């Protein structure tokens, strides 16, 4: 062997030995010093290449509103399943809730007075991460359906049960209805809107909500009924509770929704069904109410037509369940132990049927006094909610993109794209080169995002991050508009008015 080759081999061997020595020193232990149990564990993990499997699961279910159903599953792994989660949600929710199903079963209470379907799937994994393995999917792309039958019965009292983790779980007797007063030029509205939507998507509390953007004249007319003082303002069950301002926290929603859900209300049960004829573009809506009281019932029925995802009335963040108009807004009377049925039709020529959500709400005719500011200011005539139900026109339909403007921030002064402070005038001001940032999400895929200044197309972006640098000479009032398109051609728009000082 030639000398240069020997030298190279010696150097390589020396480096390997020195590196091994450092590894032993840093680890503090030699391989021989490991316990037999640790060696067995290491060998097991190295040899565990088999994924766990779900051997059985309850599958599609049917249950009565107000009842509790049990979901069971069995699974197997050559070593052990260390994680097993049940993911579940109401059909209209965007996000999944989850709880452990490692014990093999989970009880789910179905809300009283709602015929909304629920979805679920199970995902399992082992210690070394050969999963996740799901049934019928591991990511919610497919799921089992719990069909809910809203069979009117006497409303049960609230009761408590223990779930598989030993935690106390409250099963509420009724759903709560929330109206959110918001507007585009509102720096704090996006935060409160996001908290409310996250809580709704969690499925942990029994409520529906509608967003009432002041910028929509029809929504403004409804907000005016509450003598609103400022934005954001949250009206729970027709004014039974009112939350005002930027200091609203998640815990405020949780507490007040719980209070409202425990209210004693008349034994009135309602349901709403809707059918879309894609040949005529006509929606047929059937509303039914049953009065189980010993006396006649008189109330006010409002049927809200909303967009699941707002395609217009937004700026800083997407608005969900944005109010479009009332389909029904009238006084109703229901004799004792009798039923009321109402049929209506709605043209979808100006709407996306897949993006429509319908809420039917019965308000009590008895007058209460509520306040939109503090405990004694901006009084309004409150009519508490007796019953609410909701239906999505097309379950699992393709939604338009969610879009908001992340930068610039509403009502802030920006220097070279950075928000410095709130403006005294409430205007949004941008001085110097500014990066316009869009917040975009879709249930399928974003195809493109367009950026406009005063309706003039400035840039088209096809990949994340969706942003564009505005640096051309501009002075005065300008409108920034962002349009997002998904892969099916559906679009959403967000706009913001700014004062530009571009040198």
Whether residue 231 contacts residue 313, with contact meaning beta carbons closer than 8 Å, is answered with no
pLDDT bin (cut points 50, 70, 90) of residue 34 is very low
Q: Which fold would CATH assign to domain 402-502?
A: Immunoglobulin-like (2.60.40)
| CA 5 to the chain's CA centroid | 67
Q: 52-61, 109-118, 303-312: which has the minimum mean pLDDT? A: 109-118
Both structure tokens of 461: 């972006």
Residues 6 or more apart whose CB falls under 8 angstroms from that of 358 comprise 272, 274, 285, 303, 304, 305, 306, 327, 390, 391, 392, 393
What pLDDT shows up at residue 115? Answer: 76
Which residue would you say has higher pLDDT here, 22 or 298? 298
pLDDT confidence bin for 113, thresholds 50/70/90: low
* SS3 assignment, position 317: coil
Q: What percent of the chain has pLDDT over 90?
A: 59
Contacts of 151 (CB under 8 A, 6+ apart): 64, 65
CB 178 within 8 A of CB 210: yes
> Where does the chain hold its CATH 2.60.40.10 domain(s)?
53-153, 176-392, 402-502
Q: Cα–Cα distance between 354 and 221 in angstroms, integer?
A: 26
Q: Is the pLDDT of residue 334 over 60?
A: yes
How far apart (Å, rounded) are the C-alpha atoms in residues 288 and 298? 15
Fold of 176-392: Immunoglobulin-like (2.60.40)
The yes-or-no verdict on residue 133 having pLDDT over 50 is yes
What mean pLDDT do residues 287-295 have? 93
Q: What pLDDT does 394 receive?
A: 83
**Helix/strand/coil (H/E/C) assignment for every residue in 52-80:** CEEEEECCCEEEECCCEEEEEEEEECCCC
Q: Which CATH superfamily is domain 53-153 in?
A: Immunoglobulins (2.60.40.10)
Contact 214, 231 (CB under 8 A): yes
pLDDT higher than threshold 50 for residue 7? no
Q: Percentage of residues in the chain with pLDDT exceeding 70?
A: 85
pLDDT 10s digits, 175-188:
999 999 999 888 88
Question: How many angstroms from the chain centroid is the CA of residue 293?
Answer: 35
pLDDT at 493 over 60: yes
CA distance 108 to 94: 19
Higher local confidence (pLDDT), 8 or 324: 324
The answer to whether 478 and 498 have CB atoms below 8 angstroms apart is yes
Lowest mean pLDDT, pick from 30-34, 132-136, 306-310: 30-34
């Amino acid at each position: 062997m030639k000398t240069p080759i020997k030298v190279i081999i010696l150097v390589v061997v020396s480096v390997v030995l020195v590196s091994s020595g450092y590894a032993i020193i840093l680890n503090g232990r030699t391989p021989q010093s490991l316990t037999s149990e640790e060696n067995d564990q290491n060998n097991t993990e190295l040899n565990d290449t088999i994924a766990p499997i779900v051997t059985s699961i309850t599958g599609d279910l049917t249950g009565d509103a107000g009842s509790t159903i049990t979901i069971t599953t069995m699974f197997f792994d050559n070593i052990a399943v260390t994680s097993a989660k049940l993911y579940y949600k109401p059909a209209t929710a965007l996000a999944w809730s989850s709880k452990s199903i490692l014990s093999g079963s989970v009880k789910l209470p179905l809300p009283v007075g709602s015929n909304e379907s629920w979805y679920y799937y199970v995902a399992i994994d082992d210690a070394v991460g050969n999963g996740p393995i799901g049934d019928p999917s591991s990511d919610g792309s497919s799921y089992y359906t719990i069909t809910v039958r809203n069979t009117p019965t006497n409303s049960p009292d609230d009761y408590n049960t223990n779930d598989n983790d030993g935690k106390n779980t409250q099963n509420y007797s009724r759903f709560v209805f929330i109206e959110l007063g918001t507007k585009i030029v509102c720096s704090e509205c996006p935060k409160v809107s996001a908290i409310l939507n996250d809580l709704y998507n969690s499925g942990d509390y029994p409520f529906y909500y509608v967003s009432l953007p002041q910028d929509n004249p029809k929504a403004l007319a409804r907000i005016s009924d509450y003598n609103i003082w400022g934005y954001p303002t949250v009206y729970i069950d027709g004014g039974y509770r009112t939350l005002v301002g930027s200091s609203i926290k998640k815990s405020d929603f949780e507490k007040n929704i719980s209070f409202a859900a425990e209210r004693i209300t008349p034994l009135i049960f309602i349901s709403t069904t809707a059918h879309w004829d894609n040949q005529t573009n006509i929606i047929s809506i059937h509303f039914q109410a049953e009065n189980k009281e010993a006396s006649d019932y008189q109330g006010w029925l409002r049927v809200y037509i909303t967009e699941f995802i707002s395609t217009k009335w937004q700026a800083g963040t997407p608005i969900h369940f944005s109010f479009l108009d009332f389909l029904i807004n009238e006084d109703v009377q229901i004799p004792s132990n009798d039923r009321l049925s109402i049929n209506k039709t709605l043209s979808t020529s100006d709407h996306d049927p897949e993006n429509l959500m319908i809420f039917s709400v019965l308000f009590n005719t008895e007058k209460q006094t509520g306040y939109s500011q503090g405990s004694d200011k901006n009084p309004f005539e409150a009519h508490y909610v007796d019953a609410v139900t909701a239906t999505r026109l097309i379950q699992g339909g393709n939604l338009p993109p969610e879009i908001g403007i992340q930068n610039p921030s509403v009502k802030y002064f920006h220097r070279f794209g950075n928000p410095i402070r709130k403006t005294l005038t409430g205007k949004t001001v941008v001085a110097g080169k500014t990066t316009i940032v869009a917040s975009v999400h879709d249930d399928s895929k974003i195809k493109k995002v367009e950026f406009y200044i005063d309706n003039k197309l400035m840039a088209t972006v096809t990949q994340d991050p969706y942003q564009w640098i505005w640096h051309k000479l501009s002075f005065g009032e300008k409108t920034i508009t962002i349009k997002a398109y998904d892969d099916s051609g559906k679009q959403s728009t967000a706009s913001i008015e700014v004062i530009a000082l571009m040198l």
